[in-house]
Amino acid sequence: MKAVVIGCGVIGVTTAYLLRQRGHDVLVLERREGAGLETSFANGALLTPSMPEPWNTPGCWRVLLASLGRSDAALQLRWGAIPSLGRWGVAFLRNSGRERFRQNTLNNVRLALYSLEAMKALREETGIEYARTARGSLKIFRDRATLDRAVAAAQHLAVEGLSFRALSRQETVDLEPALAPIETQLAGAIHYEKDETGDAYRFCVGLAERARAQGVEFRFGAAVSSLEAGAREIKAIRVGQERIVADCYIVAGGSYSAPLLEPIGLRIPVRPAKGYSVTLERSPVEPSLSVPVVDDDFHAAIVPFGEGLRVAGTAEFAGYDLALRPERMRNLLKLLQHVLPGVRVDPAAVRAWCGLRPMSCDGVPIIGGTKLRNLFVSTGHGHLGWTMAAGSAQLLVDLICGTVPGIEPEPYSARRFYGSRQTGV
């Protein structure tokens, strides 16, 4: 079988590699000049089954309304993006009901834990070095009631295999001494032991090199202009004036998957949510942070990254706008100083970045076939793309090849949206 994968981020490149491992001829098309240069480039570097909750939490409409015109909001809606959200926005709010939110959270944690195992197998098979650490993550709380609610939520997820430890203030500082300056501000923390860190960009480049060595063809600077669809299948895809024919087509283009599919009548409910990061090549504090710290107040994370730190978080509904907004960068640096007081950061030493996270309307990724028999999609992972990459690729390749997946596929199928009054898309 000849397969074409559109997109060379963490999900696209992993899918291509696994398809080749099954003996198929694979062509990867990527509009950028190399692997991992979109949302995979400078993300939060966290593989976090501990963060399975979709962003449309119960009552999120209040948060979104309050964010209009506020540059310091962790989840921000911009006026100019409202028309582009339309039906997706309605579905996003409908999926914020407590029961739907609970079920979607469970679907995410199951795929995230499955993906960690798939990543382990991939890492052992390939020997890829991507600066992995496995010290877990530390979510800190300044309010006792909020901590108690988070512990109760973690207990529900523990049934699915998400291990954790609730820590006192002293135990928190014992685990991460760099937090000693804010010890008196803390109510405690939760240590999620299975969380990992790693450089998604290095992973993309490394796996692409191994895939190429095994026969996968990569074409960079090759933007797909259109899909040529028949009544029941894709006939070809076009890159400029070139027409490419294959047996199977996989769209793993992140936030750009939706506009590519819409002209052929597939309106998948995915919209971009812009996330930001700042990377410091050298740690500005001693002792340096050794465990990733997630601050519940700021909804962002500080992650040890090589010899430095990466601060990542916030979400902004701003359409396909990739402008680096200085006020959003300042928010992340404010978080850094909030968690590590006394830090003095030289702006010239900070590498700022933003990328578009593909968010589905229910907060669960869309993985599997479509109504066109030879067209498959893998997108909509939101803030969990790096976490879910290996598991999503394994699931999709099993479905393409007709083998029984290691995880129940239906919660991630695009079929949950077709003709659904719930989503309106």
Chain position carrying tokens 């052992």 = 124
pLDDT of 155-193, one tens digit each? Answer: 999 999 999 999 999 999 999 999 999 999 999 999 999
Residue 383 lies in a domain: yes
Residue among 302, 304, 288, 358 at smallest CA distance from 331: 302
Residue among 389, 416, 331 at smallest CA distance from 103: 416
Residue 158 lies in a domain: no
Residue 141 lies in a domain: no
d(CA 63, CA 48): 24
d(CA 20, CA 223): 22
Work out how many domains the chain is built from and give that number. Answer: 1
Residue 170 lies in a domain: no
Residue 279 lies in a domain: yes
pLDDT of 397-407, one tens digit each? Answer: 999 999 999 99
Question: Contact 112/387 with Cβ under 8 angstroms?
Answer: yes
pLDDT of residue 421: 41
Greater model confidence, 210 or 83: 210
Residue 104 scores a pLDDT above 90? yes
Residue 419 scores a pLDDT above 60? no
Q: Which residues of 350-362 are buried (b: 16+ CB within 10 A; e: fewer)?
A: bebbbbbbbbbbb
In sequence order, which residues have a C-beta less than 8 Å from that of residue 302 and are 6 or more positions away?
Answer: 289, 292, 293, 295, 309, 310, 311, 335, 336, 339, 340
pLDDT of 299-340, one tens digit each? Answer: 789 999 988 899 998 788 888 999 988 888 888 888 898 899
Residue 107 lies in a domain: yes
| Helices 385-401 and 10-21: angle between axes, nearest 10 degrees | 30
Residue 144 lies in a domain: no
Side chain identity at residue 171, one-letter code: E
Residue 128 lies in a domain: yes
Q: Calculate the average pLDDT of the chain.
A: 91
Q: Which two tokens stand for residue 300?
A: 């962002």
> For residue 251, how far is the Cα from the chain centroid?
16
Identify the domain containing residue 41 by its residue range. 2-136+194-416
Question: Contact 280/345 with Cβ under 8 angstroms?
Answer: yes
Residue 83 scores a pLDDT above 80? no
Torsions phi, psi for 231 (to 5 deg): -70, -35
pLDDT of 337-365, one tens digit each? Answer: 889 987 878 777 789 999 999 999 999 99
Side chain identity at residue 14, one-letter code: T
Q: What angle do CA 387, 392, 397 make, to 5 degrees?
A: 150
The CATH code of the domain that includes 293 is: 3.50.50.60
Residue 91 scores a pLDDT above 70? yes
pLDDT of 7-41, one tens digit each? Answer: 999 999 999 999 999 999 999 999 999 999 999 99
d(CA 289, CA 178): 6
Residue 424 scores a pLDDT above 60? no
Residue among 220, 214, 184, 170 at smallest CA distance from 12: 220
**Predicted confidence band of residue 75 (pLDDT cuts 50, 70, 90):** low
**Predicted confidence band of residue 417 (pLDDT cuts 50, 70, 90):** confident
The overall pTM is greater than 0.75: yes
Question: Contact 164/158 with Cβ under 8 angstroms?
Answer: yes
Residues present in the chain in total: 425
Question: Contact 378/390 with Cβ under 8 angstroms?
Answer: no
Question: Contact 139/296 with Cβ under 8 angstroms?
Answer: yes
**Predicted confidence band of residue 298 (pLDDT cuts 50, 70, 90):** confident
Output helix, strand, coil percentages for the chain, rounded to the nearest 5. Answer: 40, 25, 35
Q: Which two tokens stand for residue 185?
A: 């501000």
pLDDT of 54-70, one tens digit each? Answer: 988 888 766 666 656 56
